[in-house]
Amino acid sequence: MIQLHTPKASRNQETGRLSFMGSVSPAGVRFRDRGGEGDGTSRRVPGTFSVVPAPMMQTVRRCLLVTSATLASLALTAPVSLAAPSPSPSPAASGSPAASGSPSAAASKPASPSASSSVAPPAGMSSVGGTRLGQAGTQVAIAGGAPVLPKDLTARSWIVADAESGDVLAAHNAHWRLPPASTMKMLFADTVLPRFPKATVHKVAPTDLAGMGSGSSLVGIKEGESYTVHDLWLGVFLRSGNDAVHVLSAMNGGVTETVRQMNEHAEELQALDTHVVSPDGYDAPRQVSSAYDLTLFARSGLQKADFREYCSTVTAKFPGETKKNKKGKTTRGTFEIQNTNRLLSGDYDISQYPGIAGVKNGNTTNAGATFTGVAERNGKVLLVTVMNPEKTDHNEVYKETAALLDWGFQAAGKVTPVGELVAPKNTAQASAQPGANPSSSEGSGQAGGAGDVSAKPVAGAVTEDGSGGMWIALAVAGGLLVLLAGGGYLVNRRWPLPDLVRRRR
């Protein structure tokens, strides 16, 4: 029996707010004895990268309301001559994906993914989520009263985003393709977690543990022992156990098949900077991701109750090895495992971050320290990803994350977003299809309703004396109102996370 250190009432429950997207997934070892630091997937040696250095929403909503009122007035009073032009709202007014920086042909995934070993980001980064996110350096639009960004940020890449609205408040080289380390396990979990009920029991075969990299972080899985899927996911999230990842991959058809599914899922999430080679995030040639993509993985994973439970669990009991006692009776004990996310569990030089609720950390030779965290304060939920700080101080990745979270909570509503976290392909396509907008459904039962400016009955309504011009004006205005309502729906649409689960000691 696994004992979680958390109130029973809060376990794995979908409570409060609804999910922002439908699922796009198919239906006692001491840490320092394993090599590595943090939750490293390989031994910690000197890294290969040596140097690295709301008002907006309210304004758009007000503009929509003012424009709608103006058009309504115009429709009732304008001469026929003003009714002739067809509506042509700008992308910004209609809330179209193009206006918000959705992927375009120019932002497609490069054919040959590779990690940049230079000290500067490449010139041609992706512009998924907005053109500014594809630019090198720090991107932020400080407005009146907004705090300045924290000093002494040394990460090669980072991003601060509103987890619910998707607004990117600030970013630094957001699309720089870098080794992800164990933060790649967020994509692994988002892909594989829905495939197996947590009560499923699996007996570990020797082949299940084959192929793990030297110095991998381990939770302590033993060949011939049986574990529940629940046990294995605790091992993945708390101890970043590559052994648990490989066992789950074996259950899922093998590492090769799991990697294929992960790459497919990354593409569905529009995480086009990502190329998966190893499901556990172990350093491998051509394995890359970005701060932007890691944030997409976290945002998608947090829609799943089990994902939220595991990534926010601080400590748990993990099954040990089956042994015989002095009386010859077979027994199997447990040992405690602790989450290596130091903003969740704390450490001697850093405290638990107020409101923290996950997500995942990592550390390898090539990647350095990486981390994605989610925290909530006063109803605002922020996601921050930090990749490879130049400073090598103990827990530096968490200290920079905490500083960015503090800034984000203070700056929310006082900065103009520099981009957005895009929706998965299926969600974006559903929003773009005719009839997907609830605002356009009213009155659609009648042919030639006001929502369809091209309907033949409206064109045929013109009479010889020209009195039909007023009807054209009304039709045009109605069409504009529907489009603006659609824009208002897209602008006002929030993708709320379910209530975050916190597993505290």
Residue 357's H or E segment, with its range, is: strand 356-364
Torsion angle defined by CA atoms of residues 168, 171, 173 and 176, in that order, rounded to the nearest 10 degrees:
-40
Which helix (H) or strand (E) is 312 found in, with range? none
Q: What is the pLDDT of residue 427?
A: 77
What is d(CA 496, CA 475) in angstroms, rounded to the nearest whole number? 35
Closest CA to 503 of 302, 236, 238: 238
Question: Which pair of tokens denotes residue 225?
Answer: 């022992």
Query: Which one of 185, 304, 360, 399 is the catalytic residue?
Result: 185
The angle subtended at Cα 84 by Cα 83 and Cα 86, nearest 5°, is 100
Amino acid (1-letter code) at residue 345: S
Please say if 222 is a catalytic residue.
no
Name the active-site residue from 102, 126, 240, 289.
240
The span from the CA of 189 to the CA of 241, in Å, is: 13
Backbone angles phi, psi at 172, to 5 degrees: -140, 110
- CA torsion sign for 96, 97, 98, 101 is positive
CA distances from residue 225 to 3, 320, 321 in whole angstroms, order as listed: 19, 9, 7
CA–CA distance, 375 with 100 (Å, rounded to integer): 25
In the three-class reduction of DSSP (H, G, I as helix; E, B as strand; rest coil), residue 283 is classed as coil
Residue 430 has a pLDDT of: 60
How many whole angstroms from its chain centre is CA 81? 49
Per-residue model confidence (pLDDT) at position 67: 44
Q: Is 23 a catalytic residue?
A: no
Which residue type sits at 493? Answer: R
Nearest of 401, 385, 422 to residue 158 by alpha carbon: 385
Is 240 considered catalytic here? yes
Which residue out of 102, 126, 182, 217 is catalytically annotated?
Answer: 182
Q: What is the pLDDT along the chain (505 residues), one digit of tens a residue?
A: 444 443 333 333 333 343 444 444 444 333 333 333 344 444 333 332 223 333 444 444 444 433 444 444 444 333 333 233 333 333 333 333 333 333 333 344 444 565 555 678 998 899 999 999 999 999 999 988 889 999 999 999 999 999 999 999 999 999 999 999 999 999 999 999 999 999 999 999 999 999 999 999 999 999 999 999 999 999 999 999 999 999 999 999 999 999 999 999 999 999 999 999 999 999 999 999 999 999 999 999 999 999 999 999 999 999 999 998 888 899 999 999 999 999 999 999 999 999 999 999 999 999 999 999 999 999 899 999 999 999 989 999 999 999 999 999 999 999 999 999 999 998 766 655 555 443 333 333 333 333 333 333 333 333 344 444 544 454 545 554 444 444 433 333 456 666 776 554 4
User: Does residue 500 come out as left (phi exceeding 0), alpha (psi in the -120 to 50 range) or beta?
Assistant: beta
| pLDDT at 327 (0 to 100) | 84
Q: pTM, whole model, 2 decimals?
A: 0.70
Q: Tell me which residue of 296, 255, 249, 302 sits closest to 273, measured CA to CA.
A: 296
